[in-house]
Structure 1
């Protein structure tokens, strides 16, 4: 089979021939049809001291099941998070991380929707939104952010503001249901109006300070970015504001029933037409480096997907 990997920090990525893996106990061998390209994986390629397997979101058909697997059999369509080599014709997926793909959805729909949608929904739930509250979504054109905009609207937000890196993304985010779209250089300034009740932040870094400034008194910021950053305690104190950290892996491991409910809600909203994943572009495995460059440049509108 074909597999994408790299040998040193920063790449380059290259395609190689590798043996088809054998699923172990509790594992599924999946013939991949779509692979999601995520910012955390792109960052690890650029920053990790040692090369890592290019894993992440995959969707496809079960080719074989390991010992002890009870929920799926060969021929089933599944999606989930692969912790090994996912940029490949075949990938191994643990049964606990797999979920079925309904007949009404394509593999691309699944890989664009499920993991990113779960992160968006989990971050939204962490904000404890009330109907009518104002929401601000950073990275609103990203794979997660564009779903968060739609989910905030579906959860009856009174006003949804999308924050993006440049004005070229404004029409895309507005079409998702955002009432306003602002660029990061305007975040926290007079253009933010009277402030928002909660911020879902996928950017971190230097954007955290203006994101906190955009909150109304008593507002909440949910940080789910891998970009780091620092917030001054005084900025929280003066407005009685709160910052909440959200990590999907913690919920998936520690609260499987909640994780399952989120997954069911994402698919229900998709079936109802309230949640529509957007795909920026589909790349071949041979174009993995180009797909990474799109993510690095933050130029994508929606999900970036590899198609074996």
Structure 2
């Protein structure tokens, strides 16, 4: 099978396609023939910033071709999506059944990788913010797959004002089309502050401006892999709070809630309440180009690799 390998640190230019044997399926796992792979900012950052070569874990979707010992909840030929923690950039991938879910009839693998993980993260960040109807919401990385879905969750939740923060003005029409009432640029001085809720998918140097844009009693939910620091005085000054959110904590710690969110996600998608946005479907062998799109902040929605 074809698999993409990260040879050394340094960026997308060090991704290589290689031919290897398909992986073996273990107990509690399923082997799928991959139809779509979601490319994420955390993975791109690991390539650029990590000190060691990495294996590309990530979200995949496809058809089950083999079942591991003890697997009874799934069947061969069922189409599923889930998180592969090792070698997701490949024509075949192994999924742990705890992180695997069926793709509803009529939905594609590309739709699944654009919706499921990103939608669950957007839903979790929204829930962590304890947003009330009538509040104002700012979403950073608003043109990303998570950001576009977070904009829509805020709208569905009754936010009075939903603002998209993006890196460049050429993304403005896109994020307005995904539900934003207004658009601000990261370089703007005050981001149109104040906001009751800020959902931050960027981190790093943007945390400072984000905290300063909070209203009194505001909540900043940080769910990115970008790190960064916050001056506690800025929180004290506003009586504000900062909340960290990670999807894995819900998937592992509260599987019942995770599965409920998953069902509701597909229901909202089927009803047209949540719309996915796919920037481009890129051949697996061109994974370096997919990484470059995200690293240069040029993507509008999800970037998907297709074997």
Shift of 1:104: 2.3
TM-score by length of 2: 0.97
Match of 1:19 in 2: 21
Larger displacement relative to structure 2 (41-50 or 271-280)? 41-50
Q: How far did 1:7 drift?
A: 1.6
* Alignment correspondent of 1:99: 101
Structure 2 residue aligned with 1:204: 203
Cα deviation, 1:31-57, whole Å, max 9, x if unaligned, reads 000000001111111222221211100
CA distance in 2, matches of 1:65, 1:208: 44
User: Which residue does the alignment assign to 2:128?
Assistant: 126
Counterpart secondary structure, 2:118: helix
Q: Residue 298 of structure 1 aligns to a residue in which SS?
A: coil
Residues 81, 101 of structure 2: 8 Å contact kept:
yes
Is 1:74 paired with 2:76? yes
1:240 corresponds to 2:239: yes
Q: Which residue of 2 aligns with 1:264?
A: 263
Counterpart-to-counterpart distance in 1, 2:141 and 2:50 = 23
Root mean square deviation of aligned Cα: 1.0
Aligned counterparts, 1:152-231, within 5 A: 152-186=154-188, 189=190, 192-193=192-193, 195-231=194-230
Count residues in correspondence: 305
Distance apart, 1:183 and its partner CA: 0.4
Taking the aligned partners of 2:250 and 2:82, their CA distance within structure 1 comes to: 15
Q: Which runs of 4+ in 1 moved over 4 A?
A: none
Measure the CA separation in 2 of the matches of 1:154 and 1:103. Answer: 25
Cα displacement string for residues 231-261 of structure 1 (whole angstroms, at most 9, x for unaligned residues)? 1111000110000000111111111111111
Q: Deviation per CA, 1:165-213, whole angstroms, max 9, x where unpaired?
A: 01000000001111101101125x1x514x1110000111111111111
TM-score (norm 1): 0.97
**Match in the other structure for 2:152:** 150
With 172-181 and 44-53 compared, the bigger mean Cα shift is at 44-53
